[in-house]
Amino acid sequence: MNATAAVLYEVKKPLVVEEVEVLEPQAHEVLVRWAANGVCHSDLHVMTGDVPHPLPVVLGHEAAGVVEKVGPGVESVKPGDHVCSSYIPSCGRCRYCINGEPTLCAHRDKPRWFMLDGTARFRKNGRPLHHYLQVAGYATRSVVLEDGVIPIRKDVPLDLACLVSCGVLAGAGPVINRAKVPVGASVAVFGCGGVGLNSIQAARLVGAGKIIAVDVNRKKLEWAEEFGATHVIDASKEDPVAAIHTLTGGGVDYAFEVVGFQETVEQAFLSTRRGGMAVIVGICPAGTRLTIDPMLLVQQRTLTGSSFGAGHQRTDVPMLLDLFMAGKYKLRELISRRLPLAEVNHAYDLLQAGEVKRSVIVY
């Protein structure tokens, strides 16, 4: 069978949108007809070469769709079910999953661009194409692991649901799961794009006190206020670390870095109080190294990070969709643009220009 897919053949070159062949799902695999996939910086890092990846690859890892067919042994979903993609499949049986850390599942020890048997389900002219993060959501259909789909309620539009498959949970999860921000705590969020806005609205949701948004883009700071920031700092105009220490009298309880630059990670850490915590969400270019003063750690600051929300993706995704349906969590307001797959390269131009919260590619 065939799909239309956006394929990266060479870094720093546009994606090629073309027909590709899709093989049948094998044991514990699922064929999904994707309805939408969000436009995320992680794909951009592969496109620019900042994060090296085997090529060619079908990108996209923030998808939602409808199960079309299941392979042998699949029991958790059936054709017609609505699903979000999980770019970190979780097996439920490894030391990490059993320990309540399914975002660290042992599946990650295998190559994350193939099925578990080490082969691809895409072909172009007989040549295999890699599956980005075992999702490959920039295709009208792809084969994914049964462990890599999350069943969701059917009353959420799929072009909204797809956002929860990465950006929403990646941004909200660190607040809810990693920091477990308590009521009244002070929070700083570095980076107010399509992921950071979710850290901000999660902080609002859990009742944080001061919610300080930091960015260099005036428009993003306005979005931050719409999503719940109580204070904004334009880091192109003033030193955010000094400003945060002044605002909080000694540093924030929790800082979230949602950019992926050495400088902003270090600033986030420096903006915490003694005993405070900085959580890295952004993906820095490969080879980045942080420069950290160990005395700040000995003063019981914590520096940590989050993969896909650092929680329990199979329950967190439905939970966030329930919050959305209950009117407690903004999804519609996250979307700036809906574009067809043919315009995927344009969507990344808009992302790089800082012009959008989140764009969604719809099929």
The binding site for a second copy (CB under 8 A) comprises 96, 99, 101, 103-104, 108-109, 178, 250, 262, 265, 274-275, 280-281, 283-284, 286, 288-295, 297-307, 310
Q: Are strands 302-305 and 272-280 parallel, antiparallel or unpaired?
A: parallel
CA atoms of 108 and 89, how far apart (whole Å): 8
CA atoms of 91 and 105, how far apart (whole Å): 7
Bridge partners, 305 (sequence order): 280
Distances 75 to 28, 70, 87, 116, 296 between C-alpha atoms, Å: 9, 9, 20, 18, 49
- In the complex, the smallest distance separating the C-beta of residue 143 from a second copy, rounded to whole angstroms, is 26
Residue 284 bears catalytic tag? no
Catalytic residue of the set 97, 105, 162, 166: 166
- In the complex, the smallest distance separating the C-beta of residue 258 from a second copy, rounded to whole angstroms, is 12
Query: Which string of DSSP letters, residue by residue, matches 117-174?
Result: TS--SEEETTEEEEEGGGT--SBSEEEEEGGGEEE--TTS-HHHHHHIIIIIHHHHHI
Half-sphere exposure of 243 (CA within 13 A, CB side): 19
Bridge partners, 65 (sequence order): 34, 83
- Other Cβ atoms less than 10 A from the Cβ of 51: the count is 18
DSSP H or E segment with residue 263: helix 262-270
Distances 301 to 99, 167, 173, 253, 254 between C-alpha atoms, Å: 25, 26, 20, 9, 10
| Angle 94-95-98 from CA coordinates, rounded to 5° | 80
Residue 28 bears catalytic tag? no
Nearest CB to a second copy, comparing residues 99 and 125: 99
- In the complex, the smallest distance separating the C-beta of residue 301 from a second copy, rounded to whole angstroms, is 7
Tokens of 331: 């999804």
Nearest CB to a second copy, comparing residues 1 and 286: 286
Residue 45 bears catalytic tag? yes
Catalytic residue of the set 45, 82, 107, 131: 45
CA atoms of 204 and 199, how far apart (whole Å): 9
Cis previous bond, 285, omega within 30: no
Nearest CB to a second copy, comparing residues 161 and 265: 265
- In the complex, the smallest distance separating the C-beta of residue 260 from a second copy, rounded to whole angstroms, is 8
- In the complex, the smallest distance separating the C-beta of residue 253 from a second copy, rounded to whole angstroms, is 9
Catalytic residue of the set 28, 41, 61, 130: 61
Nearest CB to a second copy, comparing residues 6 and 284: 284
CA atoms of 76 and 304, how far apart (whole Å): 33
Nearest CB to a second copy, comparing residues 262 and 345: 262
**Cα distance from N-terminal residue to C-terminal residue, the chain:** 17
**Residues marked as catalytic:** 40, 42, 45, 61, 166
